[in-house]
A and B are shown apart, each in its own frame.
Chain A
Amino acid sequence: MATGPATDYRLIGGRIPYVEGPLKVTGRAEYTDDLSRPNQLVGRLLRSPWPHARLRSIDVRAARELPGVYAVLTGEKYPTPFGVLPITHDETAIAVGKARYIGDIIAAVAAQDERTAERALALIRVDIEPLPDYADPRDGVGKVAEPIHARGLNGSNIQKEVVQHFGDVDAAFARAAHTVRVKGTFAGVTHAFTEPMATIAEATPDGRLTVWSATQVPHYLHRALSEVLGIPMHRIRVIKPEVGGGFGGKSDPLPHEIVCAALAIETGRPVKILFDREDVFYTNHGRHPTQNDIRIAVDADGRILAYDIDATIDGGAWSSFGTVTTYYNGVLSMGPYRVPNFRYHGRRVYTTKPPNGAMRAHGGTNLRYSVEVGLDRLAEATGIDPFDLRDRNALPPNSTTVNQFRITSTSFRACLAAARARSGWDEKFRRLPYGKGIGLGCGFYISGSNSPIHFTPVMPQSTVHLKVDMDGGIAVHSMQADIGQGSNTLLAVIVAEVLGVDLARVHVQRVDSDVSPVDLGSYSSRVTFMMGNAAREAAQQLLGQLLRAAAALTGRPVDDLAVGRERYWSRTDPSVGVSFEEALRKAMEESGALVASGAYRSPKLGGSFKGARAGTAPAYSFAAYVAEVDVDVETGVYGVSRVWAAFDCGRALNRLAVEGQIEGSIHMGLGQVMGETMSYRGTRLMNPSLLDYKIPMPQQMPKVEILLVGDDDPEGPFGAKEAGEGPLIATLPAVGNALYDAIGVRFTDLPITPDKVLKGIDQRTKEGRPWKGA
């Protein structure tokens, strides 16, 4: 499909295989567990079998005495609280005083091998006082007998409460022609990345600590290690090997990473902690189970007048990103529409279950589902086609939302037009036979959180360093974290594009805090936009040095020189030019190796009210998806056969990577709609395995048609915006609305499993409603 204005980019916009691809597909890429250090010990964690318990005493003597055991740690040794957000430090490396969920870490062992470590864990005696457990967040909104954390609001388990009101919602509802109310229930889901967490730590006699870890955000891990262990950051070195997926699950500094470092310090030997899948499930930080209740008001023409929202969000045992989650659930529900009046009351409540946190399209999926189902109902009530209804509510480019988000580029209307045309919507909607249906869902997401998590010191969000030496290879350093999404490739592409050199000259270096300048890492869909701009700036700086050398060699002024493939040549006389290597050698005469540094700084955005920064981003992505479903009305089993995914990521820099992100997002979104669920009985997770946690199989993937329709973003690198998280969001409501078209049942309790489908059909039949509305 067409995209953006034509350009003569050499690499940008192409389909570039990942630079590390050959290593990954041949098994040569090094993930943390592929590494080992001489004399390495095995670290193991004792997890709480109790959902909520006061730890009266922990007797580790027998474990310490077991031959082959080098250290046994309990929480008191490193009690400094930490957490990804500086305002909510409520975690400790190992539980201090209380255990807060089944799976919480209450002791750790370093031993010569796995078996010895596990034997040692079995010898640890823990004396506890059981405390009341809290499975349902609704039970924690008032004063509770035993608050899970002291910081809960007024003796409750509420971790964060957000109340926002823009405009006048009550007045808007009073003049509404139609209103709709949707109450949604969403089970928790988890990232289920391929690579389990793994960390190696080594404390060396030179007083330094080195930590290799499967992390999305090496910088936050660096800070947390320093804070909890009391070691200055310059004495800690954080290395990120290849990472096999994260999706948000490796974006918090995690307790086991700190425990691993602590065990290394205690023993003086390298220690590795490798998680098994059950550990990963208990560590979780997945999407929050949520109950939301939204009312939407529209006028007679279907123009949105107001949203009125209430949301209760199940936080699990820790804060994690929860304060952000609480805001996002509200503020990210408005775009892609103009919503002139908005009221939101959200609360995130601690429960004694594995912590929830950031997961792909963090805060952007659950309320979105309810909104899109609500709009589908309003379209039916007003007799307006769902596409038309959304089109007339589209946020215009270069506008400001009621809560002062700055909208610059948006191709949302083009997304709608493309999805409508390609899917054959007008021939299919409400015209398919019983059991078959088509539905529309839309999406909106931040292209990078404008506010860094840490405000001190004030510094760029991303810095990229380049170095080119005699060999003509360009080394790229940045703490950006490639976790499989292709950011290393993007770095290489941008640098090669600007310098005009072959991609093979560019070597993106492993993230190593000793040499990589800070980038805040892979979360909030910030990397393409922020790192991309930093990389472009660094490359342009380097290009300047090369062009000055080329000017000296050719006798042409710098602004007469153009960048060709591996060559800088004169625009006025194209026969005059020098090769990249000639220019490089000349440039090196003065300074030796060339170095350059580029940075991205966030613009000043957002209002001045409390929480105004939450959800501000330098750009936003937009989506309109159509899904087609096929329901077996006797069994309730259904499949999603087709998805048309129209997406606005500005200019797609690496089309192959963007398509991969969209397909992967659709798969992940289908999981949340169709069957993935963190299944709890009370506070007990029933399915901590990939057999029982139902990720859709490849056979369940629909045929996906990707429609990239974005115009260039004015501030994105080469016009690009994010494509890593936004593409997930529209999947869910597109399927939900398609099910309604197929069988006449509205589903607001996710996942939509076959038993719920049958119950819905039963209910509809009982009420004597036809299966097609109107």
Chain B
Amino acid sequence: MHLDPFELHRPTSVDEVVGLARDLAGRFDYLAGGTDLLPNYKMHLNLRPHLIALEGVRELRGRSLERIGAMERLADVEAESALLAAYPPLGDAVREIATPLVRASGTVGGNLLVETRCFFFNQSQFWRQSLGFCLKADGDRCHVVPQKQKCYATFSGDLAPALMAVDAEVEVAGADGRRRLPLEALYDPEGDGIRRLRLRPGELLTAVHLPAATRGDPGAYLKLRVRPSYDFPELGVAASGALDGGRVRRLTIAVGGAEMRPVRHDSLTAALVGERLSDDRIRALADAVERATRPVHNTFLLPDYRRRMVSVFVRRAVERLREGTAG
């Protein structure tokens, strides 16, 4: 497998990026760490003739308790012990992404926007051609759910559920200027799996903002995968919250690695506000999240099993949160 030639652009400012994005509309990809994009390019997945490298854009850097630049390397974030301690789900998640080598290259923005995965999609051109291309690349049908005109590829980033659970916001820049939106609003619930982000054409993710309100709140991110390293999540559950006198003041659950997008289950956690986190309530919440989660058969582990693990993981994550409060 080889990389087809592309034209590489090396802007040094966000304004320059936005200008390039306008000029190259629809014919480019952003290149951050390249750990996912370049293997996909080798497989000839949705090639674009231009790559806009974000490496040289200073504004996309910087990490503090309030803000993490989109181009921050995962390994550098991993080294920020105060930041990780302030947001426990983030700490759990970043340490579990892929391998140390991938984290040395991979970025925060890249992980949030990582291409969804499916074993009918993440294959070589030869493989995909031999089966018939799928609608996510070069084709017009889904091999997972053939009756639907929709892509069921799984969202496989670890940071998104962890950051969603702590109420993170993202900052984006585009031709219309800059805006901030809650992280969960980045992932379009109305999307068809191909169009899955609420980004306007050419818009660039520039930073993650971490709210002071959830700083120091206990929480956890638990990841299911076949091997304790290297593998993408087959399920990722983040919990974050705060208890007052044993009663829930705030509780969020976010699930990734299970469906087309990471999902925050606010409607299920809302009922627990003001309540004590009893074992029964945790179990009921866990079962409810499981019922609301519907993985399909497009990763290594079987969907029934992954779904069953949702309740185990939610329960364990909330228990960790409760213990964190107690401690």
Q: Is the CB of A691 within 8 A of B231?
A: yes
The distance from the CB of B3 to the nearest CB of chain A, in whole angstroms, is 10
Cβ–Cβ contact B227 & A697, under 8 A? yes
Q: Is the CB of A699 within 8 A of B305?
A: no
Q: Given the complex, which residues of B lie within 8 Å of A754, measured CB to CB?
A: 301, 305
Which residue on chain A has the smallest CB distance to residue B39?
Answer: A691
Contact check, B130 vs A692: say whether CB atoms are below 8 A apart.
no
Q: Is B119 in the interface zone, CB < 8 Å from A? A: yes
Which one of A49, A114, A696, A755 lies within 8 Å of B126 (CB-CB)?
Answer: A49
User: Does A47 make an interface contact (CB < 8 A)?
Assistant: yes
Q: Are B227 and A694 in contact (CB under 8 A)?
A: yes
Is the beta-carbon distance between A49 and B129 smaller than 8 angstroms?
yes
**Residue contact B2 to A118, C-beta cutoff 8 Å:** yes
Q: Which residues of chain B are near A696, meaning CB under 8 Å?
A: 227
Docked CA distance A696–B229 (Å): 9
**A278 contacts the other chain (Cβ, under 8 Å)?**
yes
Query: With A278-B126, A754-B305 in contact, is A697–B300 under 8 Å at CB?
Result: no
Residues 200-222 of chain B: 1 if any A CB is under 8 Å from the residue's CB, otherwise 0?
00000000000000000000000
* Contact status A697-B228, CB under 8 Å: yes
Residue of B nearest to A639 (CB): B228
Assess A692 versus B119: contact at CB under 8 Å? Given A754-B305, A755-B301: yes
Q: Which residues of A contact B130 (CB under 8 A)?
A: 49-50, 102, 684
* Contact with B229, one of A634, A687, A688, A699 (Cβ below 8 angstroms): A699
A755-B228 CB under 8 A given contacts A49-B130, A686-B119: no
Chain B interface, number of residues (Cβ within 8 angstroms): 27
B58 within 8 A of A: no
> Considering the complex, which residues of chain A in the window 646-694 have a beta carbon less than 8 Å from any beta carbon of chain B?
675, 679, 684, 686-688, 691-692, 694
User: CA–CA, A634 to B308, complex, Å?
Assistant: 10
Query: B224: CB under 8 A from chain A?
Result: yes
Chain A interface residue count: which class?
A: 20 to 34
The reply to whether the CB of A276 lies closer than 8 angstroms to some CB of chain B is yes
* Smallest beta-carbon distance A112→chain B, Å: 14
CB-CB < 8 A to B122: which residues of A?
691-692
Task: Tell me, rounded to whole Å, the shortest Cβ–Cβ distance linking A41 to chain B.
Answer: 16
Q: For A686, what are the chain B residues with a Cβ–Cβ distance below 8 Å?
A: 119
A278-B124, A634-B312, A755-B301 known; A697+B2 contact, CB < 8 A: no
Q: Chain B residues near A276 (CB, 8 Å)?
A: 1
CB of A758 within 8 Å of the partner chain: yes
By a CB distance below 8 angstroms, the chain B residues around A635 are 224, 309, 312
Q: Does residue B302 face the partner (Cβ distance < 8 Å to A)?
A: yes
B6 interface residue, CB < 8 Å from A? no
Question: Would you give the shortest CB distance from B303 to chain A, in whole angstroms?
Answer: 10
Interface residues of B in 123-145 (CB under 8 A from A): 123-124, 126-127, 129-131
- Closest-by-CB residue of B relative to A756 is B305
Over the window 144-160 of chain B, the binary record of Cβ atoms lying under 8 Å from chain A Cβ atoms (1 yes, 0 no) is 00000000000000000
Cross-chain contact B127 with A688 (CB below 8 angstroms):
yes
CB within 8 Å of B: which of A9-44? none
Q: Cβ of B2 and Cβ of A692 under 8 Å apart? A: no
A115 within 8 A of B: yes
Across the interface, name the chain A residue whose C-beta is closest to B131. A684
Instruction: Using A102-B130, A686-B119, A692-B300 as known contacts, say yes or no to A114 and B2 having CB atoms under 8 A apart.
Output: yes
Cβ-closest chain A residue relative to B222: A635
Contacts of A688 in B (CB 8 A): 123-124, 127
The majority secondary structure among interface residues of chain A is: loop
The digit string for A266-278, where 1 denotes a CB below 8 A from any CB of B, is 0000000000101
- Taking a contact as CB atoms under 8 Å apart, the answer to whether A755 and B305 are in contact is yes
Do the beta carbons of B227 and A700 come within 8 Å of each other? yes
By beta carbon, the residue of chain A nearest B229 is A697
A104-142, CB < 8 A from B: 114-115, 118
Q: State which residues 229-252 of A face B: CB under 8 Å.
A: none
State in angstroms the CA–CA spacing of A675 and B308 once bound together.
19
Is A226 at the interface (CB under 8 A from chain B)? no
Interface residues of A in 600-656 (CB under 8 A from B): 634-636
List of B residues within 8 angstroms of A451 by Cβ: none
Q: A554 near B: Cβ within 8 Å?
A: no
Please, how many angstroms separate the alpha-carbon atoms of A684 and B305 in the complex? 23
Nearest CB in chain A to that of B130: its residue: A49
Give A635 Cβ to nearest chain B Cβ, in Å.
6
- In the complex, the answer to whether A278 meets B127 with C-beta atoms within 8 Å is yes
A511: min CB distance to chain B, Å:
30
Do residues A699 and B300 form an inter-chain contact, with CB atoms below 8 A?
A: no
A634 to B305, CA, bound (A): 11
Residue of B nearest to A679 (CB): B300
Would you call A691 and B230 a contact (CB within 8 A)? yes
Q: Does B226 contact A (CB under 8 A)?
A: yes
Which residues from chain B contact A675 at a C-beta distance below 8 Å?
Answer: 226-227
Q: How far is the CA of A753 from the CA of B305 in the complex (A)?
A: 11
Chain B stretch 306-321: residues in CB contact (< 8 A) with chain A: 308-309, 312
* Nearest CB in chain B to that of A49: its residue: B130
Q: Which residue of A lies closest to B234 (CB)?
A: A754
| Interchain CA distance A753-B231 in the complex, whole Å | 15
Known contacts A114-B2, A675-B227, A687-B119: does B124 contact A694 (CB below 8 Å)? no
Across the interface, do B231 and A115 meet the contact criterion of CB distance under 8 Å?
no
> Given the complex, which residues of A lie within 8 Å of B4, measured CB to CB?
115
3 tightest Cβ-Cβ pairs between the two chains A and B: A49-B130, A755-B305, A697-B227
Given A49-B129, A115-B4, A755-B305, 14 further pairs, Cβ under 8 A: A49-B126, A102-B130, A118-B2, A278-B127, A634-B312, A684-B131, A687-B300, A696-B227, A698-B229, A699-B227, A699-B229, A754-B305, A755-B301, A758-B308
